[in-house]
Amino acid sequence: MSLTVFGFPNTRSLRAVWMLEELGLPYEYALINMQKGESQSPAFLAINPAGKVPALKTHEGVLVESLAIVNYLGGLCPDARLIPTTAYARGLYDQWTVFAIAELEQPLWTIAKNKFALPKDQRCSEIFPTAQWEFQKALRLLSQGLGDQNYILGDTFTAADILPGHTLFWGTAFNQPIKQDNLKHYLSRVGARPALAAARSREKAAMPQ
């Protein structure tokens, strides 16, 4: 089985690499240097027409979208139990991973787009207070859902923690306050995963010196 992740440090590609490291699967890492515009090159657009990372090349074809990639990788290794298989537990998994993308991440992505990702003539800084308010609302919901559990689905780490965990890292990088004690502890717990450290190192090592 051959797997290649197309990514760039400090982007959503970390989610795919993190999952690979959690599973212990062999993979290649192909750097798409966003700073040099490589995501818009004809070669990469042939892989992902959206011009975004991550993309995952498999023996069956290419997958894009970080959640789809995480789910695919979990399906390759069901014995690892990083993705639940019973109906209700899988429903909760879907609930929190979709929440991470649709509610928790979106305000941060709105800020990012209007700071640097969109063409300058399409940016709107007036949206920042609304986006920050939305992020705080999503944090309150995540905190309520987490409660006194160690992880979002209970006391065991699952792939469901990769999406909100990574998004909370983004939030701190964007200087958005996280006031809830349980989320602070959760972020420390998730951030201490050896697989996450390995994933970050793998992406960093791909950058030209």
Q: Does residue 1 carry a pLDDT above 80?
A: no
Distance CA 154, CA 123 (A): 40
- Amino acid 98: pLDDT: 98
For residues 55-70, average pLDDT: 98
Residues 15-53: tens digit of each pLDDT: 999 999 999 999 999 999 999 999 999 999 999 999 999
Pick the closest to residue 24 from 151, 189, 202 (CA basis).
202
For residues 89-107, average pLDDT: 98
Residues in the chain: 209
Distance CA 1, CA 16 (A): 16
For residues 70-75, average pLDDT: 98
Q: Does residue 209 carry a pLDDT above 90?
A: no
Contact status, residue 174 vs residue 111, Cβ threshold 8 Å: yes
For the domain spanning 4-81+195-206, the CATH number is 3.40.30.10
CB-neighbour burial class of residue 175 (10 A; exposed 0-12, middle 13-18, buried 19+): exposed
**Residue with more model confidence, 209 or 105:** 105
Residues 116-175: tens digit of each pLDDT: 989 999 999 999 999 999 999 999 999 999 999 999 999 999 999 999 999 999 999 999
As a dihedral over the C-alpha atoms of residue 195, residue 201, residue 202, residue 208, rounded to 10 degrees, the angle is 170
CATH 1.20.1050.10 occupies which residues in the chain?
87-193
Give the contacts of 3 (CB within 8 A, at least 6 positions apart).
20, 25, 26, 27, 28, 56, 57, 58
For residues 78-99, average pLDDT: 97
**What's the whole-model pTM score?**
0.96
Distance CA 201, CA 64 (A): 22
Domain 87-193: which CATH class? mainly alpha
CATH 3.40.30.10 occupies which residues in the chain?
4-81+195-206
